[in-house]
Structure 1
Amino acid sequence: MCGILFSLSNKDRPVNEEEWEILKELNTRRGPDAQNLKQVHCSCDQEELTLQFFSTVLHLRGPEVVPQPRFNPATGDVLCWNGEIFGGVQVGFGQNDTEVLMAQLEKAESEVELLSLFSTIEGPFAFVFYKAATNKVWFARDCLGRRSLLWQKSETHAFMLSSVAKADQEWEEVPAHGIYCIDLQSTGSEPVACNKSIKLYPWTYHDPQDRLETLQNGNLTFPFPRLNATIPSDLAPIENEDEDPEIDESMNTAIDEFTFELNKSVKNRVADVPYLDSKGQARVAILFSGGLDCICLAALADQHLPLTESIDLLNVAFENPRIEKAKSQKVKTKKNKKNKQPEEEIKPVIEEPTVRSIYDTPDRLTGRAGVEELRRISPERTWNFVEINVPYPEAMEYKQRIIDRMYPLDTVMDLSIAMAFWFASRGKGVIHGSEEYESHARVLISGLGADEQLGGYSRHREAFRQGSWEKLIQETQLDVDRISNRNLGRDDRIMSDHGKEVRFPFLSTDVVNWLCRQPIELKMDLRYNRGIGEKILLRHVARRLRLINASRNWKRAIQFGAKTAKMTGENRSEKGQHKLL
């Protein structure tokens, strides 16, 4: 994980120095291990331009910290890289992927070779690369938008890129639609980058066999196809909608292949994390609600980390005054009805003490059940179930900071989700009921991406109800198409605020590629009831992993599972899509 900050300025559009210093500080939170600045001055089209590259580094690959930006004095090339290369480009065990990538970029002699290199990378990334020989600046987010990159296009100040921004400035997320290029030698018609135009080389669906021709035409080929749109036929009738279906030969093959792909994805994301603390401490933590997605990832991570190491399971719960008030009123109403007396004799209701904790949220309860199941299948492992309890005053104390980090996203739902992720990734809680504990794991594993691809949302069931398999395929394709436009950049900004990196095994492009090619009925069968039909393939995988109880868990959004939704209750008509005031 790294922080990227870049500016392109001239005498008419200078850098706002005050803002620049604030952005440097914000990016340093993302990369506390190294920070460096590289300035480049060039004369293009009879105009003096200044390029500033500032990078911060969170050490997660190789034995030593590799500072950024990477600069080659022989060529003048500069690279700011915030990403992880898990495939496509060969990075040996213990090697630093930034150094490997820079060496490959130096060899690229044409635009086609450069575009080909970036389009083959399997892994999340955002980058800025300056090719001095051609006076071109290249930048992008990966095709699924798994890393944050924002831009500020001003008519009066410098063009800027940053991993994170100040909330009172006009920033937007760089769309993950392709790779962008600024040709410093050409004058554009729009003043978006100091009078330089920005060209997009878009991601498109093409036959991988035609990849070179596609690149030559200025397009990139997605590393996965559109969904298999074959409508199921000749399916066996369902005798009981509440019973797990029999596993036939095609499903058995799918379970084996999906387990292999997901297991490989998890291995790539946990097996090469450097030891920064004493041996035995957790290098990896799971964002853990006890749900189907995260518990499968935890069980797979267990296969690739030494048993001498613990794994942290981060489970967050909030004190929500609105919910507690509603429960209290409900209890009073019941007591009043039960003890109904003539009006003049009604006595005040005396609240009875309860042993139920305000932090016994739905995710806390499933999390406790989940860790017990993990302990049964892997008793030699130390599973640290970290109960992260957030009192209401503390949530309000950090509310503005969280709003600033999720910017430019700014809805009620964004805040509910961002608040849960911010406190979860901070990792401060208790283990064993009362022992204070802070997770120092720098790599966080998230189950995001499973619901979109495997039919985990209620909208998938509604689509199936309205239009059977055809409508379900359309809805799932829509979900895959808009993954890059949704909230991954926000989540990256939120969790990296603690100097930690989140990784998404279900969004490995190899996993996405495999899932896109499978018939819809192998991934989900919504003829079955809730807890069976959605994510049916992953439920079978869970049972293969001996996670019998967890295989019946269903989707619960984190803002409801952790109780961050509508915490204050100030406006009950407030909806998730409403803008924050």
Structure 2
Amino acid sequence: MCGICFICCFSEDEIDGLVSSNQTLLSRRGPDCIDKRDIKIDELRLTFQGSVLWLQGDEPSPQPFEDSHGNLLLWNGDILAGYEISKEISDTKYISEALASKDEDEMILFFSKIKGPWSFVYFRKEEKRLYFGRDMFGRHSLLWQKPQEDCPVFMVSSVSHRKESVQEVPALGIYFLDLDSKRVLSDFCVSLIPWSHKVLKGLGDLESFIRVEQRTIVSPVVNPLNTTVADDTTTDFLRSLPCSLGKADTEHLYSSMKIEIDNLLNVLCYSVQRRVDKCPQRCKNCTRSMECNHSKIAVLFSGGVDSAMIALILDTCVDVGESIDLLNVAFAQKHSANGNEKNTKANTKIKDSKLETRHDTPLDYDVPDRITGRECWRQLQGIRPNRKWNFVEINVTSEELAEERASHISHLVAPLMSVLDDSIGCALWFGGRGQGFIAGNPYTSPARVLLCGMGADEQLGGYARHRVRFNDGGWAALLEEIDLEISRIPTRNLGRDNRILADHGRAPRFPYLDEDVVSFLNTLPIWMKANLDMPRGLGEKLILRVAASRLGLTIAAGLPKRAIQFGSRIAKLENSKEKGSDSCTRLLSNS
């Protein structure tokens, strides 16, 4: 994971101010190597700034990376498949060398074959042209500040302090901008080479400064969504299936879609293995000369079926002597002795190198995700007893939440600002930090990579709104909703999640959003992904639940969907009358 930033303006003072403002946010994403390069083109001043989290190659590659032609690359991404890259060199160096000899069409073709998350900024010196963009799912953050009359500055950056002029770069394709005159700031317009699967019916507010090219960049997801609707014969068969995950019923359900379940497990194993392989064989705390059997990979872990399956598959992908961290976050619920909520102040002290917390009344961290996480952890221990599973209990008080939101988290959530963005963003930030307790002893995860379950619900009908649509309009309505969910993944929240989780110097990776996983799931008929004639906790994400149950994850397999803001109980700490779509005054006031 890296922090990348490009700034273009007329004034050195303006550039220095923006560089200084974003320095801390960028460096937290990439603590292993930080560098900067300044260029002048006529009256324009350009700054390229990069911070690197070492994940590929024998050693970190400083950024911006300059080739022999003077071209500059800022790369925040992972080439997980599509190209064979020697383990000795970083993907940054590989991309820079590959692009140096390519014309523009060849460069676009090169990006279309990358499997893995990415965002980038690339400057071609001879043409004085700047390219930038995000992968088709928008898995890595990229923000921009467009020039305005009172502020003639153009910026593209992974992160930025909250301000109205900064917005997310739409994950529509690859953009380019000519930098050969100062018109770039006074008459700002960028060109867009869109993804081939995008239907750009209208860009709304973006139409005034985005010019769409006729050519496209081909999507690495090769299969379109299967839109077959169940006929009467299929519907009768589906209604004859058992509606439980007992042992005999699980075998019955498995036999009805054995080939599809086996293929799903295979493609998920490849997805997780790719994300494990692109990681140094040392944790964040160990040096090159040290042997390391600490956790290099962690899982954001609620005990639900999405994270439980990732953890179980991960066990097959890492050495048996290496521990795996399961990061489980809970927000304190304050109770008086008779069980009623009561506002009390927590006082923390350090004693004998152990963190002790004293309260006027007890704090309860046994929130739903803690309970199910602990139960699923114990089941993992039984299924795979040779693995050291570190169940990390991350406990957050309301005081710590308010402090970190005010000083830091609000800028990472930006430019989003809803109540939902706040609660999810804060829960992810503390979970991704990995600072908690194992069996009562303080522990901070040293993992460089964090595996997360995002993307499963959108593709497999995991949300309550999917059941509502199915009840109202049957299979056709459900398919329409799933298609909409997948199409808006790039515009929803992955940029936010990336800014939040990467802030701890870890690389968040999403196995369910691997291009090959998405392509495979697109081939399945909708009733294998979600049979919503079945009860809650079984019908949604059906194929994943049956696979999990058959592999022994019987607790996780039967748990209904529970969003992190409710499972971690952060939502109970705030104003219960708020709606998720409301603007969050806590974020705005803190900024």
**2-structure distance, mates of 1:166, 1:267:** 35
- Residue equivalent to 1:62: 57
Q: CA deviation at 1:271?
A: 2.6
**2-structure distance, mates of 1:302, 1:94:** 25
- Residue equivalent to 1:579: 583
Alignment of 1:281-320 (within 5 A): 281-320=294-333
**2-structure distance, mates of 1:280, 1:194:** 55
**1-structure distance, mates of 2:464, 2:46:** 48
Q: Secondary structure at the match of 1:578?
A: coil
**2-structure distance, mates of 1:542, 1:493:** 30
Identify the range of structure 1 (411-420 vs 234-243) with the bigger mean alpha-carbon deviation.
Answer: 234-243
1:124-157 CA deviation, whole Å, 9 max, x = no partner? 1110001122221000011100001100012233
Q: Secondary structure at the match of 2:415?
A: coil
- Residue equivalent to 2:77: 83
Alignment of 1:539-578 (within 5 A): 539-569=545-575, 572-578=576-582
- Residue equivalent to 2:339: 328
Q: 1:97 to 1:14 in 2, by over 3 A?
A: same
- Residue equivalent to 2:156: 161
Q: Secondary structure at the match of 1:62?
A: coil
- Corresponding residue to 1:98 among 81, 84, 92: 92
- Residue equivalent to 2:397: 391
Partner amino acid, structure 1, of 2:9 = S
Q: Secondary structure at the match of 2:127?
A: coil
Q: CA deviation at 1:566?
A: 4.3
Partner amino acid, structure 1, of 2:196 = T
**2-structure distance, mates of 1:310, 1:38:** 40
Alignment of 1:196-207 (within 5 A): 196-205=188-197
**2-structure distance, mates of 1:501, 1:308:** 22
Is the 8 Å Cα contact of residues 8 and 194 (structure 1) preserved in structure 2? Answer: no
Q: 1:325 to 1:170 in 2, by over 3 A?
A: farther
Q: CA deviation at 1:66?
A: 1.3
Partner amino acid, structure 1, of 2:215 = G
Q: CA deviation at 1:237?
A: 4.9
- Residue equivalent to 2:263: 257
- Residue equivalent to 2:8: 8
Q: Secondary structure at the match of 1:15?
A: helix
Identify the range of structure 1 (55-64 vs 241-250) with the bigger mean alpha-carbon deviation.
Answer: 241-250
**1-structure distance, mates of 2:559, 2:109:** 41
Q: CA deviation at 1:23?
A: 0.9
- Corresponding residue to 1:413 among 409, 412, 420: 420
Q: Does 1:457 align with 2:463?
A: yes
Q: Secondary structure at the match of 2:508?
A: strand
Q: Does 1:133 align with 2:126?
A: yes
1:397-434 CA deviation, whole Å, 9 max, x = no partner? 212121121111111111111111111111111112x1
Alignment of 1:178-577 (within 5 A): 178-185=173-180, 193-205=185-197, 217-224=214-221, 225-233=223-231, 234-235=233-234, 236-239=237-240, 242-244=243-245, 246-247=252-253, 251-274=257-280, 275-276=282-283, 277=286, 278-321=291-334, 324=335, 328-329=339-340, 358-400=364-406, 401-432=408-439, 434-569=440-575, 572-577=576-581
**1-structure distance, mates of 2:105, 2:181:** 20
Q: CA deviation at 1:92?
A: 3.0
**2-structure distance, mates of 1:237, 1:474:** 20
Partner amino acid, structure 2, of 1:165 = S
- Residue equivalent to 2:202: none
Is the 8 Å Cα contact of residues 361 and 561 (structure 1) preserved in structure 2? Answer: yes
**2-structure distance, mates of 1:431, 1:14:** 48
Identify the range of structure 1 (222-231 vs 549-558) with the bigger mean alpha-carbon deviation.
Answer: 222-231
**1-structure distance, mates of 2:260, 2:338:** 45
**2-structure distance, mates of 1:496, 1:476:** 28
Over alpha carbons, which structure has the higher Rg?
Answer: 1
Partner amino acid, structure 2, of 1:202 = P
- Residue equivalent to 1:146: 139
Is the 8 Å Cα contact of residues 193 and 214 (structure 2) preserved in structure 1? Answer: no
Q: 1:326 to 1:488 in 2, by over 3 A?
A: farther
Is the 8 Å Cα contact of residues 305 and 545 (structure 2) preserved in structure 1? Answer: yes
Q: Secondary structure at the match of 1:549?
A: helix
**2-structure distance, mates of 1:293, 1:311:** 16
Q: CA deviation at 1:10?
A: 3.1
**1-structure distance, mates of 2:267, 2:225:** 17
Q: 1:172 to 1:249 in 2, by over 3 A?
A: same
Q: 1:14 to 1:181 in 2, by over 3 A?
A: farther
Partner amino acid, structure 1, of 2:191 = K
TM-score normalised to structure 1 length: 0.88
Is the 8 Å Cα contact of residues 186 and 197 (structure 1) preserved in structure 2? Answer: no
1:273-301 CA deviation, whole Å, 9 max, x = no partner? 11142511100110000000001000111
Q: Does 1:174 align with 2:185?
A: no
Q: 1:327 to 1:40 in 2, by over 3 A?
A: farther
Partner amino acid, structure 2, of 1:460 = H
Q: 1:573 to 1:251 in 2, by over 3 A?
A: same
The answer for unaligned runs of 5 or more in structure 1 is 207-214, 332-354
**1-structure distance, mates of 2:417, 2:187:** 30
**2-structure distance, mates of 1:169, 1:430:** 39
Q: 1:125 to 1:18 in 2, by over 3 A?
A: same
Q: CA deviation at 1:548?
A: 2.4
**2-structure distance, mates of 1:124, 1:248:** 32
Q: CA deviation at 1:250?
A: 6.4
Q: CA deviation at 1:272?
A: 3.4
Q: 1:378 to 1:489 in 2, by over 3 A?
A: same
1:93-124 CA deviation, whole Å, 9 max, x = no partner? 4531111111111121x211011111111001
**2-structure distance, mates of 1:59, 1:239:** 52
Is the 8 Å Cα contact of residues 241 and 529 (structure 1) preserved in structure 2? Answer: no
- Residue equivalent to 1:352: none
- Residue equivalent to 1:115: 108
Identify the range of structure 1 (365-374 vs 277-286) with the bigger mean alpha-carbon deviation.
Answer: 277-286
Q: 1:327 to 1:90 in 2, by over 3 A?
A: farther
1:206-230 CA deviation, whole Å, 9 max, x = no partner? 9xxxxxxxx9941122222431111
Is the 8 Å Cα contact of residues 330 and 369 (structure 2) preserved in structure 1? Answer: yes
1:48-76 CA deviation, whole Å, 9 max, x = no partner? 3222110000111122111111102x311
**2-structure distance, mates of 1:418, 1:452:** 19
**2-structure distance, mates of 1:237, 1:114:** 48
The CA RMSD over aligned residues, in Å, is: 2.4
1:472-516 CA deviation, whole Å, 9 max, x = no partner? 000000000000001111111111221111100000111111111
Q: CA deviation at 1:396?
A: 1.5
Q: Does 1:40 align with 2:39?
A: yes
Q: Secondary structure at the match of 2:75?
A: strand
**1-structure distance, mates of 2:554, 2:577:** 40
Partner amino acid, structure 1, of 2:243 = D
**2-structure distance, mates of 1:326, 1:449:** 41
Is the 8 Å Cα contact of residues 287 and 424 (structure 1) preserved in structure 2? Answer: yes
Q: Secondary structure at the match of 1:452?
A: helix
